[in-house]
């Protein structure tokens, strides 16, 4: 038969984490393949759309929600989380404080959104700015990171660099697989 049936999905995906960890940079890299030292942080929420041909008959639209200016607040509002199906939590490997904040972001998320069945939404942890890693004392021990993910309910972690375009596609693909497997 023609036209063939194309399945289309639209997913709301949150990108959260402390100020300056690279949330906007990761989104710009993933969606537009660009990097800049300077993204204006306007107050509010930005959206970016990444369209993926998941399979010959399946198109996925990933609507990435980028927070700006709300990072210092104690958690985001429920409205912001509403109907999100997955999230990326970002920290900056050169600033341990942003890692310490990760469980806080995760707890805020889990308290305000869940899948229709009640399970927590899949969340991937991004250890960003790994291009700067060798210049700092921060080391990423894979075993410790895996344990951290297990303890805090992250489905996986990736060391990323928005600057060098490292691991961002892989992390997004992994997250999307998690979402699609639950469909
Ligand atoms: P946000 O506040 O979480 O949205 O962070 P931004 O995306 O605005 O990034 C904050 C700063 O870190 C900017 O100067 C970016 O250029 C820089 N930055 C973001 N990602 C990386 C990265 O992977 N490597 C390096 N070296 N700098 C980055
Ligand atoms: Mg930003």
Over residues 24-57, the pLDDT tens digits come to 999 999 999 999 887 776 667 788 999 999 999 9
Q: Is 17 exposed, middle or buried (0-12, 13-18, 19+ CB in 10 A)?
A: buried
Alpha-carbon span 183 to 9, nearest angstrom = 10
Please, which residues have CB less than 5 A from ligand 2, an ion? 23-24, 41, 68
Alpha helices in the chain (DSSP H): 23-32, 78-81, 96-100, 102-112, 142-152, 168-181
Instruction: Give the per-residue pLDDT at 167.
Output: 97
Closest ligand relative to 129 C-alpha: 1
**Ligand 1 neighbour 48 (Cβ under 6 A):** no
pTM of the model: 0.94
**Ligand 1 neighbour 98 (Cβ under 6 A):** no
Query: Which protein residue has the closest C-alpha to ligand 1 atom 11?
Result: 20
Q: 146-152: which pairs have CB atoms within 8 A and are 24 or more residues apart? A: 149/125, 152/102, 152/103, 152/106, 152/125
């Amino acid at each position: 038969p023609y036209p063939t049936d194309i399945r289309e999905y639209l997913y709301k995906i949150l990108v959260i984490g402390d100020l300056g960890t690279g949330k906007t940079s990761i989104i710009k890299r993933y969606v537009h393949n660009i990097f800049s030292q300077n993204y204006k942080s306007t107050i509010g929420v930005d959206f970016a759309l990444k369209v993926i041909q998941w399979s010959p008959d399946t198109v996925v639209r990933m609507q990435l929600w980028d927070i700006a200016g709300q990072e210092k607040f104690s958690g985001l509002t429920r409205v912001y989380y509403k109907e999100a199906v997955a999230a990326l939590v970002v920290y900056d490997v050169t600033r341990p404080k942003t890692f310490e904040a990760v469980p806080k972001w995760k707890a805020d998320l889990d308290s305000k959104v869940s899948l229709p069945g009640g399970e927590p939404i899949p969340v991937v942890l991004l250890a960003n700015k790994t291009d700067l890693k060798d210049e700092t004392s921060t080391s990423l021990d894979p075993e410790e990171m895996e344990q951290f993910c297990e303890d805090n309910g992250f489905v996986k972690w990736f060391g990323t660099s928005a600057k060098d375009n490292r691991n961002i596609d892989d992390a997004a693909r992994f997250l999307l697989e998690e979402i699609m497997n639950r469909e």
